[in-house]
């Protein structure tokens, strides 16, 4: 939702999110073979710089001209497109918790944390004031906000509409399309992008609430954030594969390379270029996950062993002691 000028952080999305365009094309029975090919070439975890995402959106708009193209695209979003961030929202107890989960872990999706959730009088706002009104344009912003609102509506079918949505862009030719989609006033030429809800809406329970799942996903996301070496998109991409494969005990150099549609040599070369080694990144990710899981007394050592992809508990014990100097049981007692 920003430009990539020197004063602003570099933002990216990922290949899984970009694939929402394929669902949108299917929904409207649009051929667009060139656009389909460009999207299909992107691996699910591949980082996509925002200018590239904007170009894909413009090509989509060319295939179906008119105001509100981004609204239609955002309306197609599902958990499959937003990954662990979507599961965190899905597993929240209520709308307020879902918005705070989005704020906290937005960096796992966009590469940087941009959103702020604040209470302003009788309204709650999730906004992006960090950009001070600078924007790549309405098409990118409307797609992102439509995706957020649509996802919440799918999680909570009876969800109330926002009380207001704002964009810093000039108004389009047909602003009524935006008010019809969001079900509320939409203001343009605003200071920044924002979605506002009445404060009492935050307590509305989500029918998908699953506290145990939310806590597990919350721990996983926090651990990935801690283990992530700086803001390295490729290392983050590899970590996402680790997270999927670890519980199935399928993490290997070959397995990760296959998931990323890369050769083993290319995977190793790209990790080296980013100052990483496969084993080093795997160990650091496992260590952060292990310490996070060990803080949860409801998880047994056996369950943690399985979540981390070790064949047996003795293997986990040896690895953990090598990482931190004591066994998992001793470390847990000291917490």
* H-run or E-run covering 25: helix 20-27
This prediction has a pTM of 0.70
At residue 127, the pLDDT reads 92
Question: What is residue 178's three-state secondary structure?
Answer: helix
- The residues with which 125 forms a beta bridge, in sequence order, are 118, 196
Other CB atoms closer than 10 Å to residue 232's CB: what's the count? 18
Yes or no: domain 12-203 corresponds to CATH 1.10.3120: no
Structure tokens at 238: 């590899």
Cβ atoms 155, 90 nearer than 8 A: yes
Looking at residues 70-94, what average pLDDT do you find? 86
**Domain extent listing, the chain:** 12-203, 211-334
Q: Which of 2-16, 94-108, 172-186, 221-235 has the lowest mean pLDDT?
A: 2-16
Looking at residues 120-129, what average pLDDT do you find? 90
Predicted confidence band of residue 315 (pLDDT cuts 50, 70, 90): very high
Looking at residues 250-262, what average pLDDT do you find? 91
What is the percent of the chain where pLDDT is above 70? 93
Q: Which of 92-106, 171-185, 281-295, 318-332 has the lowest mean pLDDT?
A: 92-106
Structure tokens at 253: 């150099």
Q: Could you give the maximum distance between any two Cα atoms of the chain, in Å?
A: 66
At residue 313, the pLDDT reads 87
257-296 pLDDT, tens digit each? 998 889 999 999 999 988 889 999 999 999 999 998 898 8
Predicted confidence band of residue 229 (pLDDT cuts 50, 70, 90): low
Q: Give the CATH architecture of domain 211-334.
A: Orthogonal Bundle (1.10)
Looking at residues 238-264, what average pLDDT do you find? 87
Residue 65 to residue 54: CA distance in whole angstroms: 15
Contacts of 6 (CB under 8 A, 6+ apart): none
For 166-180, b/e burial (b = at least 16 CB within 10 A) is: bbbbeebeebebbee
Average pLDDT, the chain: 87
Strands 164-166 vs 123-127: parallel, antiparallel or unpaired: unpaired
Other CB atoms closer than 10 Å to residue 29's CB: what's the count? 6
Predicted confidence band of residue 130 (pLDDT cuts 50, 70, 90): low
Q: 124 or 230, which is more confident? A: 124
């Amino acid at each position: 939702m920003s430009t990539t000028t020197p004063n602003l952080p570099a933002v990216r999305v990922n290949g899984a999110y970009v694939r929402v365009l394929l669902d949108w094309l299917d929904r409207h029975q649009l051929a667009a073979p060139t656009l389909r090919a460009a999207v299909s070439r992107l691996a699910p975890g591949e980082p996509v710089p925002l200018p590239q995402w904007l170009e894909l959106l413009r090509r989509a708009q060319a295939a179906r001209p008119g105001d509100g193209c981004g609204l239609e695209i955002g309306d197609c979003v599902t958990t499959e497109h937003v990954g662990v961030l979507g599961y965190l929202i899905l597993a929240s107890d209520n709308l307020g918790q879902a918005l705070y989960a989005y704020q906290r872990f937005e960096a796992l999706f966009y590469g940087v944390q941009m959103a702020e959730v604040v209470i302003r009088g009788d309204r709650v706002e999730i906004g992006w004031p960090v950009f001070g009104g600078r924007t790549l344009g309405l098409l990118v912003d409307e797609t992102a906000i439509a995706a957020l609102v649509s996802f919440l509506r799918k999680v909570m079918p009876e969800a109330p509409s926002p009380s207001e949505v704002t964009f810093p862009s000039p108004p389009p030719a047909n602003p009524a399309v935006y008010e019809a989609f969001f079900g509320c006033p939409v203001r343009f030429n605003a200071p920044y992008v924002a979605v506002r809800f009445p404060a009492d809406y935050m307590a509305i329970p989500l029918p998908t609430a699953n506290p145990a799942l939310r806590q597990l996903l919350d721990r996983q996301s926090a651990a990935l954030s801690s283990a992530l070496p700086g803001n390295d998109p490729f290392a983050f991409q590899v970590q996402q594969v680790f997270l999927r494969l670890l519980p199935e005990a399928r993490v290997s150099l070959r397995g990760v390379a296959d998931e990323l549609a890369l050769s083993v040599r290319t995977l190793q070369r790209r990790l080296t270029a980013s100052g990483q080694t496969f084993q080093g990144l795997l160990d650091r990710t496992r260590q952060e996950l292990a310490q996070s899981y060990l803080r949860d007394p409801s998880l047994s050592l056996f369950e943690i062993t399985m979540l981390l992809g070790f064949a047996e508990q003795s293997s986990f014990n040896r690895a953990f002691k090598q990482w931190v100097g004591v066994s998992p049981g001793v470390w847990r007692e000291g917490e």
